[in-house]
Amino acid sequence: MKKILILNGPNLNLLGTREPAQYGYTTLSDVEGFCKLHGEKIGYEVECFQSNWEGALLDKIHAYGQLYKADEVLGVVFNPGALTHTSIALYDAIKGVEPMPVIECHISNVHTREAFRHHSWVSPAAAGIVVGFGVDGYLIAMDGLVRKFTQTSARQQH
């Protein structure tokens, strides 16, 4: 069974208590739980990883790049948190493991928020972007990954 990685960056361990008006009351462990269940339904093994450290996120992307080469991985759903807006290293890491697809996912609609959240270093390297659907965005991103990178795209069905 191929793997999907649900990768979360800084402060996302605080989901559930952190600015609930912005991010809701669902905890990271709830998110990881429903992503794993969804993976079972759609036929993928889901691994979840969160870190507040940029280097740990880079290492995980590199490791998954190797697994992708070995045909063990479909891709990654990645919420880089605030590193979205600052990290050229994350952009380079995603480019460095191409063609492994990485879907960028944000719980909030970053474009309705402060101007500093409007720019993403990750977007130009991302295979797709899901923004503003709350924590459902992780599931939407998983489905998008499957639809875009397997034989189930709408184009092929219609």
Active site residues: 23, 106
* Smallest separation, CB 62 to ligand DQA (Å): 21
* Smallest separation, CB 90 to ligand DQA (Å): 12
CA neighbor of 32 nearest in space, from 22, 42, 46, 18: 46
110 binds ligand DQA (CB under 6 A): yes
Rounded to an integer, what distance in angstroms lies between the CA atom of residue 64 and that of residue 87? Answer: 19
Query: Rounded to a whole number, what is the distance in angstroms from the first to the last CA of the chain?
Result: 27
* Angle (CA) 137 115 25, round 5°: 35
Are the beta carbons of 6 and 80 closer than 8 angstroms?
Answer: no
Q: Which of residues 1-40 bind ligand DQA (CB under 6 A)?
A: 11
**Binding residue for ligand DQA, selected from 43, 69, 82, 119, defined by CB under 6 A:** 82
Distances in whole angstroms, Cα of residue 46 to Cα of each of 7, 85, 133? 10, 26, 20
CB nearer to ligand DQA: pick between 60 and 68:
60
* Smallest separation, CB 87 to ligand DQA (Å): 11
108 binds ligand DQA (CB under 6 A): yes
Please identify, among the stretches 43-51, 61-69, 105-113, 139-147, the one whose residues bind ligand DQA according to the rule CB under 6 A: 105-113
Taking only Cα atoms into account, the Rg of the chain, rounded to an integer number of angstroms, comes to 15
* Smallest separation, CB 82 to ligand DQA (Å): 3
Binding region for ligand DQA (CB under 6 A): 11, 79, 81-82, 84, 106-108, 110, 117
